[in-house]
C-alpha cells in the first residue's frame, strides 16, 4: 500500500515537471538574391554585413507551438546590395508544465536557441553557393536578447505611465 502511494506521488511529481520537446523541425521559407549580379563580382571593397532576427509564435493546440525564426542577412558593397539571404527556420514544440511567464521565456529563448544553428548553416550554404566568400554567423545568446527586450519593455511601460501621470495632472 505504501509503495503504491509512493508511486502515485512520484507519477504526479513527474507530471508537474516541465517538459520541452521538439516535435518537428523544418525550413518554412528560403530566399537568396543577388540583385546586382554579375557586376557585383567585379567590384572591390569591404562588404558590410547586417543581420536581422524576427520571431513568430503560433499556438497550434494545447501545449503545442509553432515557432518561426527569421534570419535575414544583407551584404552591401558601397551603395549596392551584394546579396540578401533570408531563412525562416521553424519548429513545432511541445511545452507543458510551465507557468505563463516560464512559457513566454521558453518560447523566446529555448526555441530560437534550438532553431538558430539550422538557420545559420543554411545561410552559410546559400552564401557560399551564391559565389561569395564563406559567411560564418556567430552563435547568439537568446537569454541575453530576451532579458534586454524585457528591460526595454519595462522602461517603455514606465515612461508611458509617467506620461499618463503628467497628462492627468495638467
Q: How far apart are CA 52 and CA 69, in angstroms?
A: 10
Do 86 and 70 touch, CB atoms closer than 8 A? yes
Q: How far apart are CA 41 and CA 28, in angstroms?
A: 30
Mean pLDDT value across the chain: 88
Average pLDDT over residues 132-150: 93
Average pLDDT over residues 54-74: 97
> Can you give the residue ranges of every domain in the chain?
19-151
* Confidence band of 7 (pLDDT split at 50, 70, 90): low
Per this entry, what is the length of the chain? Answer: 170
Average pLDDT over residues 4-28: 72
| Chosen CATH of 19-151 out of 3.10.420.10, 3.40.50.2300, 3.40.50.720, 1.20.1250.20 | 3.10.420.10
Q: How far apart are CA 12 and CA 61, in angstroms?
A: 23
* Residues contacting residue 140 through CB under 8 Å, at least 6 positions apart: 53, 112, 113, 116
Amino acid at each position: 500500500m505504501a509503495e503504491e502511494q509512493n508511486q502515485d506521488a512520484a507519477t504526479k511529481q513527474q507530471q508537474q515537471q516541465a517538459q520541452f520537446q521538439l516535435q518537428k523541425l523544418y525550413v518554412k521559407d528560403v530566399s537568396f538574391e543577388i540583385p546586382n549580379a554579375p557586376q557585383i563580382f567585379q567590384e572591390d571593397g569591404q562588404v558590410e554585413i547586417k543581420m536581422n532576427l524576427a520571431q513568430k509564435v503560433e499556438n497550434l493546440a494545447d501545449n503545442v507551438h509553432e515557432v518561426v525564426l527569421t534570419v535575414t542577412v544583407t551584404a552591401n558593397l558601397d551603395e549596392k546590395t551584394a546579396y540578401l539571404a533570408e531563412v525562416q527556420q521553424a519548429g513545432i514544440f511541445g511545452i507543458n508544465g510551465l507557468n505563463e511567464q516560464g512559457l513566454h521565456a521558453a518560447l523566446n529563448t529555448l526555441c530560437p536557441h534550438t532553431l538558430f544553428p539550422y538557420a545559420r548553416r543554411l545561410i552559410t550554404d546559400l552564401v557560399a553557393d551564391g559565389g561569395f566568400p564563406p559567411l560564418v554567423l556567430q552563435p547568439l545568446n537568446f537569454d541575453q536578447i530576451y532579458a534586454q527586450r524585457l528591460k526595454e519593455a519595462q522602461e517603455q511601460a514606465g515612461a508611458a505611465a509617467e506620461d499618463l501621470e503628467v497628462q492627468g495632472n495638467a
